[in-house]
Amino acid sequence: MANSIFISYRRADSQHATFAIADRLRWAFEPGEVFFDRGSIRAGNEWPDSLRRGLEAARVLVIVIGRTWLTIADEWGRRRIDDPGDWVRREICSGLAARENGATSVIPVLLGGAQQVRAEALDPALRALADIAPERIDDHAWEDGLERLIVAVAEAAGISRIVNRGDRNPNGSPSRPPRNFSEQKRLSDAEVRMALEQLARWQLQWGSHPWGVGGQAQEITKSYDFDSFADAIDFMAQASKEIDAWHPPHHPRWENQWKVVNVYFSTWDVDCRVTKLDIDAAAKLDRLFENRRVHLQNG
């Protein structure tokens, strides 16, 4: 399979972060779609020829830019990006030329506070890079940045991502569910609090979540108390069957601590913000809890 995605980077600038980006792109797409020099160039292959073939086959050039990408210099203090023989420069010139002809898309990726490269910092051969809107991957929102990059690469390359990887990312975190309800309206904190006035003991909170913008999720939460650990687990088992039957299905994040079940609702499809789906789901779960309590009392 030809490599549709070529990753350009400077080892002295962003080597380890680029390893992680390459691994995630390989995880998201079919084997062989991603060209990354560490792993794509095998022993016995001619390095320059392998790079040229990778560039020629690429439909997307991903340029990873860290804070020192532009200013890294050789032993005489000359910027490497200005050297006609510099391979990063040659990769970018090749990608920009192919972009001009409509053969390749170019996606700059800014890491960890790196700023978009300004046109006045580049010579004419590279200046078009400054006009391309970049993606950004920050340390505090790594998962969200990777997800945006995967979506952008898939659209630019015209290839499909692999949607079933055991529901796990390479680092063990849960993979983002398919986005089915993107038309849902995100509610402000004030709108959420107003809606929760109709529900008993539900509260609004913000917490960490890898799918939320900036790694933060807006959630509504409630604790259900039971007479025993067994009762708490029985409720979760009963509720899980009912939740799977909801249309659309809207699953909680929940946890059990002895006789207590803590429940959190947020709409993952819209970057972990509360929508009417969450308010409705909370009301349904309250009804399940109340119906179960009445059934046990009449028992």
- From 2-11, 48-57, 111-120, 244-253, the region with the lowest mean pLDDT: 48-57
How confident is the model at residue 42, as a pLDDT?
46
Instruction: Measure CA of the first residue to CA of the last residue in the chain; give whole Å.
Output: 64
* Topology of domain 189-298, CATH: Gyrase A; domain 2 (3.30.1360)
CA 12 vs. chain centroid, Å, equals 25
How confident is the model at residue 149, as a pLDDT?
94
Neighbouring residues of 256: CB distance < 8 A, sequence distance ≥ 6: 229, 232, 233, 236, 262
How confident is the model at residue 274, as a pLDDT?
95
The pLDDT tens digits for 182-191 are: 578 899 999 9
How confident is the model at residue 40, as a pLDDT?
46
189-298 and 5-157 share a CATH fold: no
**pLDDT reading at 194 higher than 80:** yes
- Average pLDDT of the residues in 132-139: 92
Which residue in this structure is represented by tokens 């819209």? 270
**pLDDT reading at 174 higher than 70:** no
Look over the chain and give the mean of its residue pLDDT values, rounded to a whole number. 87
The pLDDT tens digits for 18-72 are: 988 998 898 888 868 998 886 544 444 455 676 777 788 889 999 999 999 999 9
Per-residue confidence band for 97, with pLDDT thresholds at 50, 70 and 90: very high
Taking the domains of the chain in order of start, what are their residue ranges? Answer: 5-157, 189-298
Burial (CB count <10 Å: 0-12, 13-18, 19+), residue 184 = middle
Pick the CATH number of 5-157 from 3.40.190.10, 3.40.50.10140, 3.30.1360.30, 3.90.105.10: 3.40.50.10140
